[in-house]
């Protein structure tokens, strides 16, 4: 049985901590009122965001794709009832929604503003290099970049354009992570151009996932302290290991951590220090990294086995991209895109403007995309994987542009005229510059990511995108939820460990289908 007076301190209010709180209550029998979540921002959810901005616009930094093998996420969401439809859980709602609004892209790429060839376009050399990477062990990929493993032509292929924009890879990113993605998502390769096999939530992920989980946790007495930054954690040696002793908070007295108490820390954050712009302002140049990176750096400086945050965060030029959310009152642009792509809004997914300097992609969301969305509003989202480069119509880097400039570039790329052009040009837009969004993908060596339960840790564990979970892939909700499950299992000894990562890469039929797809069959 858990010790009744033991307290559970969860640092960070992202999905890792929210999931850990659910698992503590559900699986380890921990009373909710012994759990406190500390979040430095004004609301929980972390990278899973979505909100109304003023009266006439909405904002999300991104849209998240799931798939059926996100088994830890599924297990989490099956616990939480859907607000307003209590007979249904959150995972069922995802399934119902995807049955009602099935997604298959008929237009993944645009060139010259028109539907383009969607074949993967890989040469025999490219396929050989992909296979070679998949068959190289991680031990031989320490510190390697993707660029080291492929010939130049590979990066011009449709495969790379689709792959990199779907998963946010750059040639300078980690070959190890690319290898994991190839293996983990190999069953999706035959449908990659059509984005088949992907699951989407009904609304943005704040409304569809975070808000219902927060409601469930609060109903069980969990305290969520927003606007509360954790600046340090004192960890002292004790007999047989190490113990967390004191949690330091910004602007509040330190919290004593007893031997029976537990601390769960989310390390780093892909959306830390991100900034926002509007129609007429560019997102400010991000300042110093926020609490997530500062805390990890402080801990890693004192404890060598707590990983190497600088590997991931030292060069924002290599880990930034920009996104924008546009709200329209006229349907003309949505109708234009539906005609162009052949997909009703919400059924197509990412459409990439393959020749754009910024490597722009857009998603026409199913409407409404926000629970509180005005019926007269339509909301779309887009991003530029190469926001560091000049646009083709607006000659500056995307991340320096105002929202109106971003729209002007999109209008130019799509060759828009008439009412679709007016609808887009008059949109309310919120832009976002995220300096660490691909930080998880920076080339790394063994040990740069710490273990969930570091050696000798008696009452603390680490979670999130920067701990090491063999076989699983970062830049996913699943990774953070799995890390929470491991942490709660290790710390309580009550909750079961997570189920193993599904090994589609060991299924000969899957491999055969993937090989056919790569060879253009």
The piece of 279-287, 421-429, 476-484, 498-506 that touches ligand FAD (CB under 6 A) is 476-484
Find out whether 141 and 179 touch, Cβ atoms under 8 Å. yes
Nearer to ligand FAD, 334 or 466 (CB): 466
Name residues contacting ligand FAD, limited to 219-238 (CB under 6 A). 229-230
The piece of 46-54, 97-105, 180-188, 254-262 that touches ligand FAD (CB under 6 A) is 46-54
Residue 210, interface with ligand FAD (CB under 6 A)? no
Residue 464, interface with ligand FAD (CB under 6 A)? yes
Q: What is the 3-state secondary structure (H, E, C) of 38-106?
A: EECCCCCECCCCCEEECCCEEECCCCCCECCCCHHHHHHHCCCEECCEEEEEHHHHHHHHHHHCCCCCC
Number of residues that bind ligand FAD (CB under 6 A): 36
| CA-closest candidate to residue 12, choices 275, 263, 306 | 263
| CA-closest candidate to residue 52, choices 166, 211, 201, 200 | 211
How far apart, in Å, do the first and last CA atoms of the chain sit? Answer: 57
- Draw the binding track, 420-439, toward ligand FAD (x: CB under 6 A; -: no contact): -----------------x--
Nearer to ligand FAD, 332 or 469 (CB): 469
Name residues contacting ligand FAD, limited to 325-364 (CB under 6 A). none
Nearer to ligand FAD, 42 or 86 (CB): 42
* Neighbour tally for 229: CB within 10 Å: 19
Give 64's contacts (C-beta < 8 A, 6+ positions apart): 48, 201, 205, 477
Residue 72, interface with ligand FAD (CB under 6 A)? no
Q: How far apart are CA 190 and CA 193, in angstroms?
A: 8
Which of 15, 76, 189, 430 is close enough to bind ligand FAD by CB under 6 A? 15
Which of 23, 38, 159, 333 is close enough to bind ligand FAD by CB under 6 A? 38
Name residues contacting ligand FAD, limited to 263-292 (CB under 6 A). 266, 269-271, 291-292
| Backbone dihedral region for residue 25 (phi beyond 0: left; psi -120 to 50: alpha; all else: beta) | alpha
Find out whether 466 and 296 touch, Cβ atoms under 8 Å. yes
Give 104's contacts (C-beta < 8 A, 6+ positions apart): 191, 194, 195, 196, 343, 347, 348
Which of 13, 190, 283, 420 is close enough to bind ligand FAD by CB under 6 A? 13
- Draw the binding track, 138-177, toward ligand FAD (x: CB under 6 A; -: no contact): ----------------------------------------
Name residues contacting ligand FAD, limited to 50-69 (CB under 6 A). 61-62, 64-66
Find out whether 228 and 39 touch, Cβ atoms under 8 Å. yes
The piece of 13-21, 151-159, 239-247, 256-264 that touches ligand FAD (CB under 6 A) is 13-21
* Neighbour tally for 152: CB within 10 Å: 8
Residue 397, interface with ligand FAD (CB under 6 A)? no
Nearest approach, Cβ of residue 325 and ligand FAD (Å)? 11
Residue 213, interface with ligand FAD (CB under 6 A)? no
Nearest approach, Cβ of residue 297 and ligand FAD (Å)? 11
Residue 306, interface with ligand FAD (CB under 6 A)? no
**Considering Cα of 82, then 84, then 86, then 88, what sign does the dihedral take?**
negative
Residue 16, interface with ligand FAD (CB under 6 A)? yes
To which H or E segment does residue 326 belong?
strand 321-328
Q: How far apart are CA 440 and CA 401, in angstroms?
A: 25
Which of 47, 89, 352, 373 is close enough to bind ligand FAD by CB under 6 A? 47
Nearer to ligand FAD, 266 or 431 (CB): 266
Nearer to ligand FAD, 364 or 416 (CB): 364
Distances (CA, A) of 107 to 9, 165, 207, 306, 424: 47, 14, 28, 44, 20
User: What is the contact surface with ligand FAD in residues (CB under 6 A)?
Assistant: 11-16, 38-41, 46-48, 61-62, 64-66, 229-230, 266, 269-271, 291-292, 295, 323, 437, 464-465, 475-478, 480
């Amino acid at each position: 049985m858990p010790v009744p007076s033991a307290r559970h301190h969860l640092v960070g209010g992202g999905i890792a901590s929210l999931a850990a709180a659910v698992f503590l209550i559900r699986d380890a029998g921990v009373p909710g009122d012994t759990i406190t979540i500390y979040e430095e921002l004004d609301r929980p959810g972390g990278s899973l965001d979505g909100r109304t901005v003023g009266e006439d616009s909405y904002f999300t930094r991104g849209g998240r794709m799931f798939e059926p093998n996100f088994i830890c996420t599924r297990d989490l969401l099956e616990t939480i009832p859907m607000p307003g439809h209590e007979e249904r859980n959150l995972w069922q709602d995802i399934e119902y929604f995807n049955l009602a609004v099935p997604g298959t892209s008929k237009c993944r790429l645009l060139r010259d503003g028109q539907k383009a060839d969607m074949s993967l376009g890989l040469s025999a050399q490219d396929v050989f290099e992909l296979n070679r990477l998949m068959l190289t062990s991680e031990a031989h990929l320490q510190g390697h970049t993707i660029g080291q493993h492929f010939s130049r032509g590979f990066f011009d292929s449709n495969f790379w354009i689709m792959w990199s924009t779907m998963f946010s890879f750059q040639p300078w990113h980690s070959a190890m992570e690319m290898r994991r993605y190839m293996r983990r998502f190999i069953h999706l390769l035959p449908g990659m151009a059509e984005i088949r096999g992907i699951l989407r939530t009904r609304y943005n992920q704040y409304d569809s996932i975070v808000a219902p989980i927060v409601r469930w946790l609060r109903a069980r007495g969990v305290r969520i302290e927003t606007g509360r930054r954790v600046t340090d954690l004192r960890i002292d040696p004790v007999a047989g290991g190490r113990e967390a002793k004191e949690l330091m908070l910004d602007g509040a007295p330190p919290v004593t951590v007893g031997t029976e108490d537990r601390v769960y820390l989310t390390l780093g954050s892909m959306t830390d220090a991100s900034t926002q712009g509007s129609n007429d302002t560019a997102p400010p140049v991000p300042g110093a990294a926020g609490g997530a990176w500062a805390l990890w750096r402080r801990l890693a400086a004192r404890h060598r086995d707590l990983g190497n945050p600088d590997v991931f965060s030292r060069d924002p030029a290599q880990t930034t991209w920009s996104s924008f959310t546009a709200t329209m009152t006229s349907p003309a642009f949505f109708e234009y895109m539906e005609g162009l792509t052949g997909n009703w809004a919400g059924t197509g997914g990412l459409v990439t403007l393959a020749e754009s300097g910024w490597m722009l992609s857009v998603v026409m969301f199913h409407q409404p995309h926000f629970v509180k969305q005005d019926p007269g509003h339509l909301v779309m989202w887009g991003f530029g994987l190469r926001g560091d480069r000049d646009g083709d119509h607006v000659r500056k880097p995307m991340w320096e542009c105002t929202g109106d400039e971003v729209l002007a570039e999109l209008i130019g790329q799509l060759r828009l005229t008439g009412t679709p052009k007016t609808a887009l040009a008059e949109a309310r837009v919120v832009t976002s510059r995220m300096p660490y969004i691909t930080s998880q993908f920076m080339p790394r060596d063994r040990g740069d990511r710490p273990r969930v339960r570091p050696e000798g840790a008696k009452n603390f564990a680490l979670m999130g995108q920067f701990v090491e979970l063999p076989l699983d892939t970062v830049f996913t909700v699943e990774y953070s939820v799995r890390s929470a499950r491991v942490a709660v299992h290790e710390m309580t000894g009550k909750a079961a460990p997570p189920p193993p990562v599904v090994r589609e890469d060991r299924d000969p039929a899957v491999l055969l289908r993937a090989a056919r797809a790569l060879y253009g069959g």
